[in-house]
A and B are shown apart, each in its own frame.
Chain A
Amino acid sequence: GENVEQHPSTLSVQEGDSAVIKCTYSDSASNYFPWYKQELGKRPQLIIDIRSNVGEKKDQRIAVTLNKTAKHFSLHITETQPEDSAVYFCAASSTDSWGKLQFGAGTQVVVTP
């Protein structure tokens, strides 16, 4: 089955700096890669996703890049703000697994003013 590794487990950044979280996946059949943001005690919220036919996708301060050859994808947050503080999860799924998401272990992001 799919295995997703996520690094780092914690990330502290100064407000205004950039944050980068990296994930690797094992199943070459995976073709959908979402990123979720989860604030304490709340549900995971989809913030951006990318499909395997695209190398990069951007939405305002958030971007995701995908390297299919190396089987890794990354989340980039620019101009970080205190409200970006949360746990971020990457995930992967494939057509062969009924769209079932396999999550990474999560990254605790702390943005300090």
Chain B
Amino acid sequence: DAMVIQNPRYQVTQFGKPVTLSCSQTLNHNVMYWYQQKSSQAPKLLFHYYDKDFNNEADTPDNFQSRRPNTSFCFLDIRSPGLGDTAMYLCATSRGTAWRGDYGYTFGSGTRLTVV
């Protein structure tokens, strides 16, 4: 059973047209992360939520926003996508530091975003 589900799997959007990617989890994990992975590169953390607390990475562009309306769902909003935002976007979850140091991540299958 899929435990971290990302939708859609593939998304094509026009330059400058807002797009939203979604992630849901059935693990009841405290922490949800969004990573951007460009071709042949390591995943790069954009931001994460620890419960309702939002934590932005210093170098994440303002163009990227996130929402976590409840424990199960987290959204990535790209307000004005540029060509350089073409990438795989990975959602991951973990129990977080509150759980005896168990930091194991569970990744979703990713959304492959193409900006044209």
A44-B90, A105-B41 known; A98 and B101 CB under 8 Å? no
Contact yes or no, B104 A106, CB < 8 A: no
Chain B residues within CB distance 8 Å of chain A: 31, 33, 40-45, 48, 50, 55, 90, 94-97, 101, 103-105, 107-110, 112
Contact yes or no, B43 A100, CB < 8 A: no
Main secondary structure of the interface of B (DSSP, over half): loop
Chain A, interface size: which category?
20 to 34
Contact yes or no, A95 B90, CB < 8 A: no
Chain A residues within CB distance 8 Å of chain B: 31-32, 34, 41-46, 49, 51, 89, 93, 95, 98-106
How far apart sit A32 and B110, CA to CA, in the bound complex (Å)? Answer: 24
Q: Which residue of B lies closest to A102 (CB)?
A: B45
**Among A41, A43, A93, A104, which residue has its beta carbon within 8 angstroms of that of B107?**
A43
**Among A32, A42, A49, A100, which residue has its beta carbon within 8 angstroms of that of B48?**
A100
**Among A31, A34, A51, which residue has its beta carbon within 8 angstroms of that of B105?**
A34
